[in-house]
Amino acid sequence: MAGSCHIRLRYLVHKGVTTRTLVIGGTGTLGRIVVDHLLTAGADVRVLSRGRRPHHPDVEHVTGNVRSGEGLDAAVTGVDTIAACVDPAQHLVAAAKRAGSPHLVYISIVGVDRVPFPYYRRKLADEQLIAESGLPWTVLRATQFHDLIALIMRMLAKSPVMTLPAGLRDQPVDVREVGQRFARLALGEPAGRAPDFAGPEVRTMDDLARSYLSMVGKRRPIMPVWLPGKAFRAFRAGGHLAPGHAAGTITFEQYMSEQLAAGRVPYRDAINDYLRPHRPKETR
């Protein structure tokens, strides 16, 4: 199903009726970019979040929680496509099946089937649940975002000695490029497993660390630490890399230059939202 069917925009077919797309996690790092691209394409967008409102005033906003299932039935009512930028998928799949047969588009991670890391296993279980749900579906796997690498480096650089996992490489990608591809898939026909989306370069972690330290003006000795276990053995073997799918073009240094010039801290909004206490609903 890959190829030209991705280019057909669902909102332009069927007598020009605009497609309504629900973006789960539409206020997050990836979700905001997906929303921007959907709106530019002319889609009717509804955003579900735990409380933080989208930055577009013309977007319909609903509250809900994918972990508990709260608010999902109302959120999926009347939508043609669900773009899931967050996990887990269990309650979302159940709500989508009750709502009919919307196209479910899910973001995943390169290597979830090769690296026995607990979070990766949960993502793989989500993929399998979606594929076996009977719903029309698309899954896009991406490598780690530049934002995550920058956040890790920022935290590790707080110590006088920067300790890094020995033997690890990464292939970070810009979230804006992933968001553009993800939105395009949401506007297209169901594709099943879409081609992986990876960053332009495979880099060692110590190389990324030296680049980060140089750009932020810090000096730290780097000490590699050998981490045991099957998961880190799989990471060292490159199970999370996709050199044959290096579709991204923005390098880590380009990302960092933009972030530093703008004075932005990676995942600041997401971290603040996570740390902000959520008031429980009043019972009547």
Quick: pLDDT tens for 201-210. 999 999 999 9
β-sheet bridge partners, residue 164: 224
Output the pLDDT for position 12.
40
Position 14 pLDDT exceeds 50: no
pTM, two decimals, is 0.89
Position 167 pLDDT exceeds 50: yes
Name residue, tokens 């399998």: 128
pLDDT digits (tens, 9 = 90+) for 55-79: 778 899 999 999 999 999 999 999 9
Confidence category of residue 151, pLDDT binned at 50, 70, 90: very high
Angle at 34 between CA 32 and CA 40, to 5 degrees: 105
Output the pLDDT for position 268.
63
Output the pLDDT for position 54.
66
What are the residues whose beta carbons fall under 8 Å from the beta carbon of 4, sequence distance 6 or more?
Answer: none
Cα-Cα-Cα-Cα dihedral sign, residues 207, 209, 215, 219:
negative
Q: One-letter amino acid identity for 206?
A: D
Q: 3-state class of 106 per DSSP?
A: strand
Q: Decide yes or no: CATH 3.40.50.720 for domain 4-263.
A: yes
Angle at 27 between CA 105 and CA 200, to 5 degrees: 65
Confidence category of residue 51, pLDDT binned at 50, 70, 90: confident
Written as six digits, the tokens of 213 are 């330290």
pLDDT digits (tens, 9 = 90+) for 225-272: 999 999 999 999 999 999 999 999 999 999 999 999 999 877 665 555
- Note the helical H segments in the chain: 29-40, 72-76, 90-99, 118-131, 146-156, 175-187, 205-216, 230-236, 252-262, 268-275
Name residue, tokens 């991670």: 109
Output the pLDDT for position 53.
74
Whole-number CA gyration radius for the chain:
20
Mean pLDDT across the chain, nearest whole number? 89
8 A C-beta contact, residue 201 and residue 147: no
Output the pLDDT for position 19.
85
The dihedral over CA atoms of 76, 79, 82, 88, expressed in degrees to the nearest 10, equals: 10
Output the pLDDT for position 265.
78
As a whole number of angstroms, the distance between CA 150 and CA 255 comes to: 9
